[in-house]
Each structure stands twice: as C-alpha cells, then as structure tokens.
Structure 1
Amino acid sequence: MKHAKRKIALERMHVLINSAISNARLNPDLAQKQASLARRISTHHRIKMPYELRINFCKQCKNFIAPGINSRIRLGRTPLKAIRITCNFCEHTYRKVIAQ
C-alpha cells in the first residue's frame, strides 16, 4: 500500500511540474501554485523530489523558475564547462557542471 501511494505521489508531482512549465509564460501565478503544490506533496509524503523536478526551483528563495522565462541561463567559458542559472526573483546564481 505504501509503495502505491509513493508511486501516485511521484506521478502527480511530474504532472504538476510539467503543467507549471507549460503555464509559466501565460499564467505565472498558476504556475507558482502548481509548483508549490508539487513541493507540498513531496514533503507531506516524505518523498525526495527527483532531480529533474528539483532543478526547476531556486536553491535560495525556493520559488519555481521556468528555464528562460523567469530565470536567466548562461553557458560558462571557463575550462570547466558549466551552466549558470540566475533566478529573476532573488538574483541568486548557481552553476551546474557539464560532464565532458
């Protein structure tokens, strides 16, 4: 029974985040509510949010950031290839290293 609830919660989180990404440009308030609901589901059921969903949240202010809509994405030119993501809400910048 516990495994079934966990699976349903994970599916619901995927649906909500995908819906939030598609609504981010036209209706940003709805997108924020959908993303916060996905986060609440993960905390309520004590499920760690998968990486592909977690990267859509700012690490500092915890707001939902859709790539290119309410965040700035830049490629680094240093020898260590990295993507720099800047949140437009709190201006926090963090990097994701690209494996070569």
Structure 2
Amino acid sequence: MKPIVYKIAMERMQILIDNAISNARTDPELSQRQASIARRISSKYKIRMPYDLRIVFCKKCKSFIAPGLNSRIRLGRASVKSIRISCNFCGHTYRKVIS
C-alpha cells in the first residue's frame, strides 16, 4: 500500500471517530454511522486501527460505545488494577488491565 493512502485513511478514521464521540450525546444514530464508516475504511484498506480508536468499539457486538453514554465503566479491585467496561447494547463486559 502506498504511504499516502495509508496516511489519508488514518486521518479520516481519526476524524470520524472524533466526530462520533462528540455527536454521541446529541445524535446517537449519526455517531454509530460515523463509527461504522471508520471501521469500513479500516477493513477496505487493510489497516489495523490504532489502540485509541479500537477502544471505543465493543469487542462482542462491534458497536460504537461512547464512554459513559452507552457503556458502563467501573474500576476493578485494588490488587488487579483494571477497568471493566460493560456494553449497554449486548451486555458484554471486558477488562482493560492498567499497568
């Protein structure tokens, strides 16, 4: 893949995810659509999404979850130091370990 195509695709995915996060409270359907377009760009050009973009998608149902709006975020136990994220669409809970 040409480096210019990679750069443009990454910029567009970043813009779409940023817009989806900002529109999540006012227009949830628009934010879901913008996030799905970003995922399609990633799959079309065979680009792996960076971690900060992947974190806003549910690992089970692949829907866009805005932190605190359509997901529940809880801190784990003191010994494990993790964050538990629960999707309000499918109910799946997954953990992110904080090191």
Give TM-score, length-normalised by structure 2: 0.98
Q: What is the aligned-residue identity percentage?
A: 68
Counterpart-to-counterpart distance in 2, 1:77 and 1:56 = 23
Q: What's the CA shift for 1:29?
A: 0.1
Counterpart-to-counterpart distance in 2, 1:18 and 1:30 = 12
Q: Which runs of 5+ in 1 are unaligned?
A: none
Q: What's the CA shift for 1:78?
A: 4.1
Counterpart-to-counterpart distance in 1, 2:22 and 2:70 = 13
Counterpart-to-counterpart distance in 2, 1:96 and 1:39 = 21
Q: Which runs of 5+ in 2 are unaligned?
A: none
Correspondence for 1:80: 80
After superposition, the C-alpha distances for 1:33-88 in whole angstroms (9 at most, x for unaligned) are 00000000000000001100000000000000000000000001241110000000
Q: Secondary structure of the residue that 1:9 maps to in structure 2?
A: helix
Correspondence for 2:46: 46
- Please, what is the CA RMSD of the aligned residues? 0.9
Give TM-score, length-normalised by structure 1: 0.97
Q: How many pairs does the alignment contain?
A: 99
